[in-house]
Amino acid sequence: MRNQRAQNRLRIDDTAALCGVSGDLLSRLENGKSVTTEKLLAVLQSLGLRMLIVPAGDVPWIEAALSEHRATLDAQTQPDPSKP
């Protein structure tokens, strides 16, 4: 969540207001503190994020796919060394 907020260049209090929660609640979420599931889902939706629950055995496969996707994105954003 913090990364999404930072990418959007939003301050924590501005983001909290957009999500309809207090700055304290958003801070607790970003710092791994306990909040209600209802508030968590509301903040995720407001930030355009989704929570995905998968079987534990699928995690290595998902992490590998995400790593490959990130590498592809990184390669697309790197300047072409053959061009001056």
Q: What is the CATH number of the domain that holds 67?
A: 1.10.260.40
| Residue 84 included in any domain | no
Domain count, the chain: 1
Reported confidence tier of residue 64, pLDDT bands at 50, 70, 90: confident
**52 or 83, higher pLDDT:** 52
Domain that holds residue 6: 2-77
pTM over 0.85: no
Q: Using the predicted structure, report yes or no on whether residue 65 has a pLDDT greater than 90.
A: no
pLDDT of residue 79 exceeding 80: no
Burial class of residue 15, CB neighbours in 10 A (0-12, 13-18, 19+): buried
Half-sphere exposure (Cβ direction) of 5: Cα atoms closer than 13 Å: 20
Q: Evaluate whether residue 82 is within a structural domain.
A: no
Residues 32-42, mean pLDDT to the nearest whole number: 92
Question: Would you state the pLDDT for residue 80?
Answer: 65
> Alpha-carbon distance 38 to 32, whole Å?
15
